[in-house]
Structure 1
Amino acid sequence: MADKYTAENILTDTQKRISNAFDVFDHENNKTVDVREIGTIIRSLGCFPSEAELHDIIAELEEEEPTGFVCYEKFLPAMTKILLERKFRPIKEDLLLQAFEVLDQQKKGHLEPGELSRYLTQEGEPFTQEEMDEMLSAAVDPDKNVIFYKDFVSMMTYDDTR
């Protein structure tokens, strides 16, 4: 019986977290949110899908005739499943640090903003200019005008204690 009680508590707590996150963006209090807010809601819940995965999730959540809004009744079961299956977990800090170290071929302990920008806008799933600007504003050391990636990795990794 204790296992069932624990499972029920986990489900209830998970659904409360989802509801609270959804409500922050339900500006009209009508149990709908703008489809453009779905990625932010999902990331606030500790899940970090790629843009392609996010588009797939949104496609599942939207009505047959897209309205630009997602209703809570569709979002709750989909997001509950994602959280309980622990999908789209954040990358571990040590793996992210290794990625930066690969880019730092001279082993300087930092990257130049232009250098990181080239990697992130021309390789893999490219960042938009807006995303790049936002990242650099947080990553670049204002005194040295470089990215001390060990500090940046610590700042941007998610504490997954839930």
Structure 2
Amino acid sequence: MARKEEPKIQPNNELEQKIIEAFEVFDHSGKQVVDVREIGTILRSLGCCPTEAEVQEVILATENKEATGNVPLINFLPYMCKAMIEHRFYPASAEILLAAFRYFDKDGRGYLTKERFTQLMLEEGEPFSQEEFDEMMQTALDPVTSNITYEYYINQLMVAPKHVYEIADMFEEERKKLEAAAPKKKRASELLREAQK
């Protein structure tokens, strides 16, 4: 028997809209499902900076249990809303990035050579994939000097449209205001006491 198609999920707020838009780019079937191999890319397109272990954690938490290998939007959306509100996978600040680049710039020249940067990104720590690295180099590499002038590169990284974490913060603030403004629900015992008076 053919599985009934799920109704299209409609966003309730700007945060959900951003997450759905990022997800739909990789939903090639249009059935609100993506391949698990796309999750890291989706997270990064949202401005998240997860480690590979964190990507696996997201997959484990959101993967379709009946048909492994894919992640349905209905699982991904609530998980990611919560993660964004909690600031999980938050990118490093400009100060932290600058300190890291300066650590590797032993001579204090203000740049790393293409060769050294390639070695750091592809071979040390948690290496980037070749695809991720190539994308990074489009922004990082100075075409004239073939070096990575890291203060310029960091400034490029920090110039971004309204960050999804800011949207998550606004959403959470609004939720708290609504919660505070809502009348407090009374417990059954309180209602009984009032009724007995």
TM range (shorter): 0.7 to 0.9
Q: Deviations over 1:89-124 (max 9, x none)?
A: 110011101111111111111111111222223321
1:123 maps to 2:124 = yes
Tell me which amino acid in the other structure corresponds to 1:21: A
Task: Give 1:65 shift.
Answer: 5.2
Report if aligned partners of 1:90, 1:158 keep a CA contact under 8 Å in 2.
no
What is the correspondence of 1:96-107 to structure 2 with a 5 Å cutoff? 96-107=97-108
Task: Give 1:68 shift.
Answer: 2.5
Describe the shift of the 1:115–1:158 C-alpha distance in structure 2 as closer, same or farther (beyond 3 A): same
Q: CA RMSD in A?
A: 2.1
Aligned residues: percent identity?
A: 41
Report if aligned partners of 1:46, 1:158 keep a CA contact under 8 Å in 2.
no
Tell me which amino acid in the other structure corresponds to 1:48: C
- More divergent stretch after superposition (152-161 vs 106-115): 152-161
Q: Work out the number of aligned pairs and report it.
A: 152
Residue aligned with 1:64, SS: coil
Describe the shift of the 1:111–1:37 C-alpha distance in structure 2 as closer, same or farther (beyond 3 A): same
Residue aligned with 1:147, SS: strand
Question: What residue number does 1:14 align with?
Answer: 15
Task: Give 1:66 shift.
Answer: 5.1
What is the correspondence of 1:1-162 to structure 2 with a 5 Å cutoff? 12-64=13-65, 67-157=68-158, 159=160, 160=163, 161-162=166-167
TM (norm. structure 2) is: 0.68
Residue aligned with 1:27, SS: coil
Residue aligned with 1:154, SS: helix
Question: What residue number does 1:5 align with?
Answer: none
In our comparison, the structure showing a higher alpha carbon Rg is 2
Q: Which runs of 5+ in 1 are unaligned?
A: 1-10
